[in-house]
Amino acid sequence: MTTPHLPPGFTWRPAMLEDVGAAVDLFNLADREFLAVGAPGWHDVDETRGEWTEPGFDRQIDTVLVFDNQARLVAYQEAFTTPPHVRAIVWGRVHPDYRGTGLGSALVMWGEQRARELVDRAPEGAAVDAQAWVDTANGGATKLLEGSGFARTRYFWDMEITMSEPPAEQRWPDGLEIRPFVKEEHHRTTHDAVLESFKDHWGFADADPDESFERAVHQVESDSNFDPKYFHVLWDGDEIAAVSLCHPKAENDPRKGLVGVLGVRKAWRQRGLGLAILLHSFRVFWDNDMPIVTLGVDADSLTGATRLYEKAGMHVERTFATYEKRLREGKDLRNRG
């Protein structure tokens, strides 16, 4: 494992599952100044525990916890890949009291080094990038990444709606219907439909479907808030036309509902199904006393998703940027539009 070169006075070790509570406290404290007033925080224990136990994520070599000379947790860094391993996520947080100490630079450097160790997981001859995400309001993190050789590649929005009245009940074209989601029967088919619907999204790269589905199963099974009534699948006979996979508690604020994934398969596009299934999702949230709904979207969506969400009454709440650094040259397997 790559050893981080920390400033004097700090120690480190890999994360253990029993660290999850302290780590989540650190994450939310580090993000506090960028959150809306009253928002409880971006991270929770269940979500982070699920991420730390995902297939392919190895806490012993993919994470670093940093402690000060009083054994207080003051920083965290992780670096990992997901199928098909052509993108390595480099993500971390530093306690506000320890900014400017050199910890951030040291941890970004460690993250990049760890990401380079993961390059061989990608298909032979494929280009591999390290990628980081930052809130555009976080000027310190932006400066740190740019100073480390990362370049901004894309903007993403958090969009939101606060409903004052229930959306109308949706009427589906003849032959199409929403059916109750039964995980044991429908999860794999739904997952495959999601992959197909996202092929023409920026950054998408084909992954081994079995490896990808293994992660999807883990995400559902580790989500204590999973409720099948929020997984909306629109069927056309025995084929899936569109999906809206939602969650009763948003990652950034459990007081809001989250549209996690919304996709329409190519053969069923240009029929208004994306807007219809989104409004159907809103209606289910409304009926369950959740008038505020949020989602994340590529600000320059290749499929026009931002226009669809605006048509549904959503507005931009926050802006994020992706920063990338090329780790290995080769054929770029990711959709760049």
Class of domain 160-319: alpha beta
Domain coordinates in residue numbering, the chain: 11-122, 160-319
Residue 260: name the closest of 285, 234, 297 by CA. 297
In angstroms, what CA-CA distances link 102 with 72, 73, 98, 193, 324?
Answer: 17, 16, 8, 45, 21
| β-bridge mates for residue 135, sequence order | 320
Q: Which two tokens stand for residue 149?
A: 């050789």
**120 sits in which H/E element:** none
Note the pLDDT of residue 333. 97
pLDDT in tens, 15-65: 999 999 999 999 999 998 887 777 777 788 988 999 999 999 999 999 999
pTM score, whole prediction? 0.93
Class of domain 11-122: alpha beta
Check if 11-122 and 160-319 are the same fold: yes
pLDDT in tens, 194-221: 999 999 999 999 999 999 999 999 999 9
Quote the DSSP letter at residue 304.
-
Q: What are phi and psi of 319, to 5 degrees?
A: -125, 135
Provide DSSP, 191-236: HHHHHHHTTTSTT-----HHHHHHHHHHHHHT-TT--GGGEEEEEE
pLDDT in tens, 285-326: 999 999 999 999 999 998 889 999 999 999 999 999 999 999
